[in-house]
Amino acid sequence: MVVDDAAPVAPGHLELEFGFSHARPAGGGSEQAWPVMTVAYGMIEWLEIGAGIQRVNNNDPREAPVKGFEDLHIATKFSISEETEALPAAAFSLDVSVPTANRAKGLSTGNSEQAFTLILSKGYAPGGLHLNLGYLLVHSPRNAKLKNQLRGGIAVDYAVQPVLAFVGEVFGASRAGKGERNEAAFQLGLRYAINPGFVLDAAAGRSLRSSGASVQVTTGLTWTIDIANFVMGGN
């Protein structure tokens, strides 16, 4: 899913995510990301650090295909304040791209980008509400005419059973470059806890505009490991 929650990974825990996404743009062709891989580690009570990378296979009938691993991302999230009866939990995340991908193949701009996001989460048993407000700082190559982007999203989750929750989200961003359009989309999905350490999620949606994806699907698996127990042979 796109919208994040405010809780950092628990201290001493390692969180591994493996995902797949597929979208069919309104103009034809396809956009796939597989594998999508992220790792995050809880350093202390209020701080996590992590990294992520994905391999894309994009086929646009109007442009040359793009295939391969995109830039590596280094990320951190830290808690600003805990949830109270009246106020939501708040956190801030920073995502920095490292230009590791092949620029000649269209997989990278060759420059680093920085994404800053404020995250708010409020529990309303048996569900919760999450709000993301962010800004992407783009260092555009000459003549590329890429723009910095405002980003945002809101998500709702509702637990129908202790192991099963419905999730819905709406998210968007300002135009990525000159001549392009603002983006807006939604997804509806499920999150299922196979056991306390394994969570499976799947969702489908589409763009809320005439441009963008006519259909998009995502699925992922999150594996959370208590490092101390894992090393000692526990569960």
The CATH number given to 13-231 is 2.40.160.40
Give 30's Cβ-side CA count (13 Å radius): 9
**What is the model's pTM?**
0.93
Per-block mean pLDDT, blocks of 10 residues, the chain (235 long)? 95 97 92 97 96 96 91 98 96 98 93 97 96 95 87 97 96 91 96 95 95 93 90 62
The domain spans of the chain are 13-231
Q: Which pLDDT tens digit goes with each residue over 157-185?
A: 999 999 999 999 999 999 998 888 999 99
Check the CA dihedral 13-78-88-38 and report its sign. Answer: negative
Determine the pLDDT at residue 232.
Answer: 65
Q: How far is Cα 196 from Cα 110, in angstroms, rounded to an integer?
A: 40
Q: Is the peptide bond before 61 cis (omega within 30 degrees of 0)?
A: no
Query: What's the alpha-carbon Rg for the chain, to the nearest Å?
Result: 18
